[in-house]
Amino acid sequence: MNTTSLKNYPILHLLQKCKTLDSMKQIHAQMITTGLILHTYPLSRILLVSSSITTTISYALTIFNHVKNPTIFLYNILISCLTKRGQTHEAFSLYTRIFTDQKNNLLKPNSYTYPSLFKACGAQVQFQCGKALHAHVLKFLQTAHDQFVQASLVSFYSSCGKICIARYLFDEITQPDLAAWNSILSAYARCFSVNFDANANSFHDSMKLLVEVLHLFGQMQKKSLVRPNEVTLVALISACADLGAISQGMWAHAYVVKKKLRLNGFLGSALITLYVNCGYLDFAYQLFDELPERDTFCYNAMIRGLAVHGHGQEALDLFEKMRLEELVPDDVTVLVILCACSHMGLVDQGCKFFHSMQRDFGIEPKLEHYGCLVDILGRAGRVEEAEETIHAMLMKPTAVLWRSLLGAARVHGNLKVGEIALKHLIQLEPEASGNYVLLSNIYASMNRWDEMKDVRKLMKEHDINKIPGTSILEIDGVMHEFSSGDKEHPKAKEIYLKLDDINTRLKEHGYMPRTREVLFDIEEEEKEGHLLYHSERLAIAFALIECRFDSPIRIIKNLRVCGDCHDSTKLISRIYEREIIIRDRTRFHHFKDGNCSCFDYW
């Protein structure tokens, strides 16, 4: 009896309509009495149905275990069912049975065995397990270049952050399908969030990644018959958002509109994040309002945007609107609300929200939520209380939590807590320069130069270098990078002449350099000179030369804005009547008419 005739059996049509275990058992009984259960195709159908309508997969496993000589097709069906349910360990146990099945020594995995297993490994970041599975592919498949398997390998290595391996495997595919294209583009996009932090080479690395994303997207359009979908554009737009490449991001948005792609939650939130990260908050809100459907992802992106741009109350108001629309908050929603409270100094409101999240929304606090609480307390000067919060946690504190505490200790001059935090940080991140710098900041602000020199000596002994500050801005689609004291820019001469003009006018308006920000035991005059050439000062000078008078200046900085640059930028915005928007590691500063959106609370 062939498969085509089996598919037409009425009982199999009834099986597909089963909604309960009892009805499925009745059909199962009929399949046994009619002998239909002895054929592979009907067996595969009942395995699929039983695994989908029951809370466990035990019934499907029982059916499978009674099959005398299961084919690889049946193994593949059940392995796929297990991985979809997140039962990775059970799926691999079943995969192992393929090789230990004494009743069928000729049984071997095929190209349909591996994709679901690779997907499970990637989702749980089980790199070693997936790598071993890759070796099995090379050993057991007659052709390791099966396109279906290759695409799953690209996805696996992409999910594990192994972009070079993923790219090599992608290039081996003769005709990549949409899933393969999306996997490799998403891999590059994910690298932005990892690379574009406080790393000295982050700008160069991220620019290379962005160029590669755009190049791949162009290749996809030119050489492939596959049409990009929403997932493809999310990867492209996310890359632009992380680097602040507004021109390329707006081009991607135009492509979405031109091709009439559906603005689902993922694509909508990616576009909102693009405009938020590039300093175009009004564009982000306009897009949010015009979305045909707004889900939790979109609300999270917009609430976060308002929070990091200093509009904490508006963020809380939008959260209330979200609840009125009966959308269910998730752990990210809670995180961005806590972020809003932190940036606006809403200490009591933030603490109350944290302690009620489990009761009101059924969300268990994660490390990220504790990090926000520590930040809220630390910014408000309640440093000891922030330390107690870390010690009271049931989970092991991460470096992020201790760094947040160290940052609070620096701002409020709490040396005792700062030293405790650094001790933990050195154990967790012995090579992270920022941790040592934060403590040396505390010593420097207290004029305790000997202790500061000891910290610098410790850094030298461990071959740890301070990460230099860098600032980037985009003008007419071209990205420009500046570092402190940088003279490499083609227009360096004009930039430094403009800086002289800026510094002269600053002093005329009463500017006094905050020399305590300089972490060196040197003369005051030398300290002033050091402050004048911070990376954002150079970027601002260049923007005043090149940007239109009526356009805001938008800058991205890899480190926290120092107090002196914050004071001087407020004055520059008033003197030159320019709006200046700076995105640093944690938030946006909108400088206008001598004021900043953070109200000097950052």
pLDDT at 86 over 80: yes
Could you tell me which residue, 463 or 3, shows the higher pLDDT?
463
Residue 585 carries which DSSP code? Answer: S
User: Whole-prediction pTM value?
Assistant: 0.78
Share of the chain above pLDDT 90, in %: 36
Kindly give the pairing relationship between strand 470-475 and strand 478-483: antiparallel
Average pLDDT over every residue of 539-563: 89
State the pLDDT at residue 433: 72
Q: DSSP assignment of 85-119, as one string?
A: TT-HHHHHHHHHHHHH-TT-TT----TTTHHHHHH
Continuous segment of H or E residues that includes residue 78? helix 72-84
* Per-residue model confidence as pLDDT tens digits over 130-188: 999 999 998 888 665 677 888 889 889 988 888 889 999 999 888 888 888 988 988 88
582 CB-near residues (< 8 Å, 6+ apart): 536, 555, 556, 557, 561, 569, 588, 589, 591
* Per-residue model confidence as pLDDT tens digits over 373-415: 999 999 889 999 999 999 998 889 988 899 889 888 888 888 8
Q: Do the Cβ atoms of 76 and 112 come closer than 8 Å?
A: yes
Question: Three-state SS string across 279-346, please?
Answer: CCHHHHHHHHHHCCCCCHHHHHHHHHHHHHCCCHHHHHHHHHHHHHCCCCCCHHHHHHHHHHHHHHCC
Model confidence band, residue 200 (pLDDT cutoffs 50, 70, 90): very low
Task: Map tokens 């020199």 to a residue.
Answer: 453
State the pLDDT at residue 290: 92
Domain residue spans in the chain?
181-293, 366-467, 470-596
442 vs 438: CA distance, rounded Å: 7
For the chain, how long is the longest CA-to-CA vector?
A: 98
Q: Nearest CA to 247 among 484, 476, 559?
A: 476
Structure tokens at 566: 């914050």
Residue 259 carries which DSSP code? Answer: T
How distant, in Å, are the alpha carbons of 378, 389, 436 from that of 403?
A: 11, 14, 10
32 vs 50: CA distance, rounded Å: 15
pLDDT at 548 over 90: no
Burial profile 345-356: b = 16 or more Cβ within 10 angstroms, e = fewer: ebbebbbebbee
Could you tell me which residue, 588 or 448, shows the higher pLDDT?
588
Could you tell me which residue, 306 or 107, shows the higher pLDDT?
306
pLDDT at 526 over 70: no
Average pLDDT over every residue of 190-199: 54
pLDDT at 291 over 70: yes
Model confidence band, residue 456 (pLDDT cutoffs 50, 70, 90): confident
Q: Do the Cβ atoms of 307 and 318 come closer than 8 Å?
A: no
Average pLDDT over every residue of 525-532: 54
State whether residue 478 is helix, strand or coil: strand
Structure tokens at 295: 């889900």
Share of the chain above pLDDT 70, in %: 91
Task: Map tokens 């395995």 to a residue.
Answer: 47
* Per-residue model confidence as pLDDT tens digits over 233-282: 999 998 888 878 888 899 999 999 998 888 888 999 999 999 999 999 99
Q: ∠ CA 270-298-261 to the nearest 5 degrees?
A: 55
Q: Do the Cβ atoms of 474 and 247 come closer than 8 Å?
A: yes
Handedness of CA 141, 145, 147, 149 (dihedral sign): positive
- 196-200, 341-345, 556-560 — which is least confidently predicted? 196-200
- The edge-to-edge listing of strands for the beta sheet with 595-596 is 478-483, 470-475, 553-557, 580-583, 588-592, 595-596
State the pLDDT at residue 6: 61
pLDDT at 428 over 90: no
pLDDT at 444 over 60: yes
Topology (CATH level 3) of domain 366-467: 1.25.40
254 CB-near residues (< 8 Å, 6+ apart): none
Q: ∠ CA 257-262-268 to the nearest 5 degrees?
A: 85
Q: What is the mean pLDDT of the chain?
A: 85
Report the phi/psi class of residue 374: left, alpha or beta, with left for phi > 0 and alpha for psi in -120 to 50. Answer: alpha
414 CB-near residues (< 8 Å, 6+ apart): 383, 384, 408, 442
Average pLDDT over every residue of 505-524: 66
State the pLDDT at residue 207: 66
533 CB-near residues (< 8 Å, 6+ apart): 484, 485, 486, 499
- 436-440, 445-449, 518-522, 578-582 — which is least confidently predicted? 518-522
Q: Do the Cβ atoms of 286 and 563 come closer than 8 Å?
A: no
Sequence length of the chain is 602
Could you tell me which residue, 577 or 206, shows the higher pLDDT?
577
Q: Do the Cβ atoms of 185 and 219 come closer than 8 Å?
A: no
Torsion angle of alpha carbons 152, 154, 155, 157, nearest 10°?
120
